[in-house]
Chains A and B, each alone.
Chain A
Amino acid sequence: MIRLRLAGVALAALLAGCAASPPLRDGLPAAAPRAIALDGTPFFPQEDFQCGPAALATLLVASGVDVTPEALAPEVFIPGRKGSLSLELIGAARRHGRLPYVLATTADEMVAELESGRPVLVLQNLGAGPLPAWHYAVLIGYDAERNVALLRSGSEQRLEMKWQRFAGTWHRGGRFALTTLPPGEIPAHATPARYLEAVAGLEAAGQRQAASAAYDAAIARWPEEPLAWLGRANVALAAGDREVAADAYLRAIELEPGNAAARNNLAELLLGAGCLEESRRQVERAAVLAAGTTLEAAVAESRARIRATRASVSRCALEGRDWPD
C-alpha cells in the first residue's frame, strides 16, 4: 500500500512538472530586483481554446495597440488544431505594427524584459509525456522571496505558480518566450543578429514604416552592423527613395566589402535609375562574391536579367557619385 501511495505521489509530482530547476532566488541574476509585478498589464480572460489570442492581446495592448482577443482570433486560431501556433502569433503581432521578438531560452532574458516593463508571452506544457497540454500564458512578474512566478493565465487574472513548476512547464513547452515592442525599442539583451532577424520579419510582412524605424534604432545602437544598413536600404528602395537607399548600400559595402546582397541590390537600384553601365559592373562583382554561397542563385538571376537589358536613351539618375570597386 505504501509503495502504491508513493507511486501515486511520484505520478502527481511528474504531472506537476517538478523538474530539477533551482528555486528562483538561486537562479536570479545578481543585479535583478527581488520582485517584479507588472500589475498594470491588461487582462483578457480566455474563452474556449483561445489562450493564444488572449495572451497576444495582453501583450499588444500592453505595448500600446488597441485590440481584443476576439479581433485576433481570426488571425491566429486554427480550429482543426484547437489552438494557435507560435509562428502565427508572431505574424499577427506584425500585422498590428509591433515588433515580435523571440527571447533566448534562458530565464535571464525574461527577467530583463520584465525589468524593462514588458510582459512576456510563454508557451507552457501543462501536461506530461504522451499527454501534452499546450498553453499560452503571460508572465507579468515574480517574487524571489516567495519563490513564485506571476502570470495572466486562462481565466486567472493573477496566477501565482511555484517557480520550479513554472520553469518546468516552460521547459517542456520548448522554452518559447516572446515580447512585442513598439518599433524603435530594442529588447534589453538583444544581439544585432537576433534583433535584425526580427526586424527583417516585420519588413517581410509589409510593415515598411515600422521596419524603417526599427532599422534606424539598430543603426543608432550598432552603427557598424552591415545588415542594419542593408535593411534601411531595402526599405528605402521599396519606398522609392533611391538616394537614401544608395547611401545605405554604400555604407553596408564599406563595412563589409564581401556583402553580396548589398552589391546585388545596389546593381538593381542602378538598373532602376537608368545607370546600366554601372549596374552591370556591380552585378559582376556581386556574382563573384556570391559564388558558392547561399545567395548564388539569386544573384545569378539578377545578373542574367541585367545583362539582357538593352541600353536605354534615358540618362543615369544618379550621376556624380562614386561607386565602390
Chain B
Amino acid sequence: MQLDSFRRACVALVSLGIVSLGLQAPAVAGVVSTAEAVAAARGENPRAVVDAAMARADVQGKLAELGVDAAAIEGRLAALSEQEVAKLAAQIESAPAGGDALAVIGIVFVVLIILELVGVIDIFKKA
C-alpha cells in the first residue's frame, strides 16, 4: 500500500516534469492512442504508459550523458511512441550503433600483420 502510493507519487512527479518540459502528451486526455491499441492487439506491455513516463526521463538522462546536445533531446524523443521510448531506455547502451566501420577493420588488419610478423600466420607472403 505504501509502496503503491510511493510509486504513484514518483509517476506523478516524473509526469509533471515531462509535461512541464513540453514533451509528448496525449492529444486528447483519456484516449487510447493508436500505438497503444496496436500494441494491445499483440498482447504487449500492459503498463506501457506508466513505464514510458519513467523511461522518457531515463532516456533523457542517458542521452545527455552520452554527449547529445540537451536542446536536441526533447525533439528526438518526441518522435518516438511510448513503446519505443521504453525500448530505447532498455537498449541505449547495448543496441548496435551504426558508425564507422573503418576503425575496426583497421584493428583487424593490424592484428593480422602482427600475427604475420611473429610467424603465426602466413597469408601475406607470395607463394
Provide the A58-69 mask, 1 if CB < 8 A to any CB of B, else 0: 000000000000
Partner of B38, one of A82, A87, A197: A197
Please tell me if the beta carbons of B92 and A85 are within 8 angstroms of each other in the complex: yes
In the complex, chain B residues whose CB is within 8 Å of the CB of A82: 97, 99-100
Please tell me if the beta carbons of B104 and A74 are within 8 angstroms of each other in the complex: no
Please tell me if the beta carbons of B97 and A8 are within 8 angstroms of each other in the complex: no
Is A78's CB within 8 Å of the partner chain B?
yes
Provide the B100-119 mask, 1 if CB < 8 A to any CB of A, else 0: 11111101100010010000
Known A134-B101, A204-B82; contact A79-B123, beta-carbon cutoff 8 A:
no
In the complex, chain A residues whose CB is within 8 Å of the CB of B47: 297
- Nearest A residue to B39 via CB reads A294
Provide the B32-57 mask, 1 if CB < 8 A to any CB of A, else 0: 11111111111111111100000000
Q: Which of A59-107 contact B (CB under 8 A)?
A: 74-88, 90-92, 94-95
- Tell me the complex Cα distance, A83–B121, Å: 33
Please tell me if the beta carbons of A200 and B81 are within 8 angstroms of each other in the complex: yes
Please tell me if the beta carbons of B100 and A294 are within 8 angstroms of each other in the complex: no
In the complex, chain B residues whose CB is within 8 Å of the CB of A302: 30
Partner of A174, one of B36, B39, B49, B96: B96
Please tell me if the beta carbons of A268 and B28 are within 8 angstroms of each other in the complex: yes
In the complex, chain A residues whose CB is within 8 Å of the CB of B12: none
Please tell me if the beta carbons of A234 and B108 are within 8 angstroms of each other in the complex: no
Known A126-B104, A134-B99, A237-B28; contact A201-B66, beta-carbon cutoff 8 A:
no
Mostly, the A contact residues are helix
In the complex, chain A residues whose CB is within 8 Å of the CB of B27: 234, 237-238
Partner of B98, one of A75, A123, A268, A294: A123
- Tell me the complex Cα distance, A197–B102, Å: 35
- Tell me the complex Cα distance, A82–B66, Å: 9
A227 vs chain B, min Cβ distance (A): 6
Is B3's CB within 8 Å of the partner chain A?
no
In the complex, chain B residues whose CB is within 8 Å of the CB of A12: 112, 123
In the complex, chain B residues whose CB is within 8 Å of the CB of A173: 96
Is B31's CB within 8 Å of the partner chain A?
yes
Is B72's CB within 8 Å of the partner chain A?
yes
Is B68's CB within 8 Å of the partner chain A?
yes
- Nearest A residue to B98 via CB reads A136
Known A131-B108, A134-B96; contact A203-B76, beta-carbon cutoff 8 A:
no
Please tell me if the beta carbons of B36 and A295 are within 8 angstroms of each other in the complex: yes
In the complex, chain A residues whose CB is within 8 Å of the CB of B77: 91
Please tell me if the beta carbons of B28 and A272 are within 8 angstroms of each other in the complex: yes
Is B60's CB within 8 Å of the partner chain A?
no
Is B1's CB within 8 Å of the partner chain A?
no
Is A22's CB within 8 Å of the partner chain B?
no
B115 vs chain A, min Cβ distance (A): 8
Provide the A160-184 mask, 1 if CB < 8 A to any CB of B, else 0: 0000000000000110000000000
Please tell me if the beta carbons of A237 and B31 are within 8 angstroms of each other in the complex: yes
Partner of A5, one of B29, B66, B95, B123: B123
Please tell me if the beta carbons of A200 and B38 are within 8 angstroms of each other in the complex: yes
Please tell me if the beta carbons of B24 and A204 are within 8 angstroms of each other in the complex: yes
Please tell me if the beta carbons of A200 and B34 are within 8 angstroms of each other in the complex: yes
Provide the B56-98 mask, 1 if CB < 8 A to any CB of A, else 0: 0000000101111100100111111110100110011101111
- Tell me the complex Cα distance, A78–B92, Å: 10
Is A298's CB within 8 Å of the partner chain B?
yes
Please tell me if the beta carbons of A265 and B32 are within 8 angstroms of each other in the complex: yes
4 other A-B residue contacts (CB within 8 Å) besides A127-B105, A127-B108, A201-B35: A51-B99, A197-B35, A237-B31, A264-B32
For the complex of A and B, list the 5 residue pairs with the smallest distance between their C-beta atoms, beginning with the closest: A80-B66, A83-B99, A83-B97, A79-B67, A91-B79
Residues of B near any A CB (own CB < 8 A): 24, 27-49, 63, 65-69, 72, 75-82, 84, 87-88, 91-93, 95-105, 107-108, 112, 115, 120-123
A-B contact pairs, 19 of them (CB 8 A): A51-B98, A81-B99, A83-B98, A84-B99, A127-B108, A131-B107, A134-B99, A154-B101, A196-B38, A200-B33, A200-B81, A201-B35, A201-B81, A206-B78, A234-B33, A237-B28, A261-B37, A297-B47, A298-B49
